[in-house]
Chain A
């Protein structure tokens, strides 16, 4: 559905070429919850911005459903770390703004109420963004992405600035939303725990210039957010996987010479 083919990206910083991504290949399937995991500043967000169409790779191509991505569009919505809600519009108006042109006001109200319900924000349509907590604002951003009816949700560390408790709760809520809506989600984080709770597949990136140093498919289940969180946090295999990912990150971020661990790897099963 979403393909990154031999992506490399460099940018100019005061006349110096900085390489952020090197030879990155990835294919995201429909309905997948894929998490891109990596250290801060490694280029995870750059990949999402390419998928959203805000950035073009220096080498290679990003394509969505077989068509090269050249500009942003409604079919791929990015949930920003800052939520990016219009502070002067109410929650309902923020969501309504994302809806396609030409809808009747009844249809708009219905969609707004539906996505707020899915996001667990019933009755908040008249609230202003500043009246909500950071976590609730992120939920509004997710509701806005759902209202756009995008086929893929690109989530750029949406819960990074939250406290641990709120983040865990929102992780559960996000799993529930994903189960209900069955959207394809590409989620970026630097938290191993978050990646393990949320994903059907984890892709691990090295430090800059980022390349894929490992990927793991996680067991399929149909548990709701709370049960999945409990099951995965208590599972011995998951703890071993967590240690393995951590060990690889320590070796590769920054890369340690002579370990042979920082090469791009094929798919392995947890």
Chain B
């Protein structure tokens, strides 16, 4: 078991080293052979900590603004999505009524919401938050409903037989039974929301945020800062996965004996 864990850790480090190697070789080739200003990884990392003089704001300030927008939009999607997921699982009529709406929302690409967001909220924060919420919402509703619908019927029959009542049935059977599917929905929604956030910040005229910083760096040929922003975006994704979703997934899997 210990040997297996060590082996997996070794492969993980090897995978990270492979990314660094590919980046370095690509940067070397593009610089030396093609003469293009492709930064090395360490230059991009340095740009995060010591921004160039041309930058209006520190990259970490942009990160803070992006994160707060993402948390607001994602939070709205989580509350609305989980509530509606439970409501549609409980009421087949409501599910049939909302089915076209929810699946239409899921099919619209993130950037296609830009004109709608601009008409509804104009330039600025609210539009970005709206775009995050609306793109994260559908996967949460769909996965929550699916998780509840796939709970083994005999577990619900056992709950009826034991006369557990609505609250205990919800807390002891429905919620833990649907948890794996809900977590999957939250995971997909989180990635959707973050992707659309960066795009929204590029086009919705906000002066702060990683998307804005990325675009500004590109216009001022500050490629180190642009790549630094990309590194931060990837790191945020990894941190959310490793600190939130993976541990919850591990707990659920371990309890069910599927880890």
**A73 and B255 alpha carbons, distance in the complex (Å):** 29
**A130 and B164 alpha carbons, distance in the complex (Å):** 23
CB distance from B253 to the nearest CB of A (A): 10
Q: Does A160 contact B (CB under 8 A)?
A: no
| Contact flag A82-B172 (CB < 8 Å), given A130-B256, A130-B257 | no
Interface residues on B, range: 20 to 34
Which of A83-91, A168-176, A255-263 participates in binding chain B?
Answer: A83-91
Contact A82 B154 (CB under 8 A): yes
Q: Which residues of A contact B51 (CB under 8 A)?
A: none
Q: Which residues of B contact A148 (CB under 8 A)?
A: 161-162
Q: Does A98 contact B (CB under 8 A)?
A: yes
Contact A82 B152 (CB under 8 A): yes
Of A78, A98, A128, which is within 8 A of B157 by CB? Answer: A78
Q: Does A113 contact B (CB under 8 A)?
A: no
Of A54, A88, A97, A130, which is within 8 A of B160 by CB? Answer: A54
CB distance from A55 to the nearest CB of B (A): 11
Contact B161 A73 (CB under 8 A): yes
Q: Which residues of A contact B157 (CB under 8 A)?
A: 52, 54, 72, 78, 80, 84
Contact A74 B160 (CB under 8 A): no
| Contact flag A80-B255 (CB < 8 Å), given A89-B172, A148-B162 | no
Q: Does B173 contact A (CB under 8 A)?
A: yes
Q: Does A131 contact B (CB under 8 A)?
A: yes
Instruction: Tell me whether chain A's interface is mostly helix, strand or loop, or mixed.
Output: loop
Contact A87 B257 (CB under 8 A): yes
Q: Does B21 contact A (CB under 8 A)?
A: no
Q: How many residues of A contact B (CB 8 A)?
A: 23
Q: Which residues of B contact A76 (CB under 8 A)?
A: 161
Contact A52 B161 (CB under 8 A): yes
| Contact flag A80-B154 (CB < 8 Å), given A72-B161, A73-B161 | yes
Contact A97 B162 (CB under 8 A): yes
Q: Which of B252, B256, B258 has the most C-beta atoms of chain A within 10 angstroms of its own C-beta?
A: B256
CB distance from A171 to the nearest CB of B (A): 22
Contact A86 B172 (CB under 8 A): yes
Q: Does A189 contact B (CB under 8 A)?
A: no
Contact B162 A131 (CB under 8 A): no
Residue of B nearest to A87 (CB): B256
Of B163, B168, B252, B258, which is within 8 A of A73 by CB? Answer: B163
Q: Which of B154, B161, B164 has the most C-beta atoms of chain A within 10 angstroms of its own C-beta?
A: B161
Q: Which residues of A contact B162 (CB under 8 A)?
A: 74, 97-98, 148
Of B161, B163, B176, B258, which is within 8 A of A86 by CB? Answer: B176
Q: Does A215 contact B (CB under 8 A)?
A: no
Contact B257 A84 (CB under 8 A): no
Q: Which residues of A contact B177 (CB under 8 A)?
A: 88
**A97 and B172 alpha carbons, distance in the complex (Å):** 9
Q: Does B158 contact A (CB under 8 A)?
A: yes
Contact B158 A84 (CB under 8 A): yes
B-facing residues in A57-102 (Cβ within 8 Å): 71-74, 76-78, 80, 82, 84, 86-89, 97-98
A-B CB proximity, top 3 nearest: A130-B257, A84-B154, A72-B160
| 10 additional A-B residue pairs with CB within 8 Å, beyond A82-B154, A86-B173 | A52-B157, A54-B160, A72-B163, A77-B161, A82-B152, A84-B154, A84-B158, A88-B256, A97-B172, A98-B162
Pairs across A and B, CB under 8 Å, 5 listed:
A54-B157, A72-B160, A84-B152, A84-B157, A88-B177
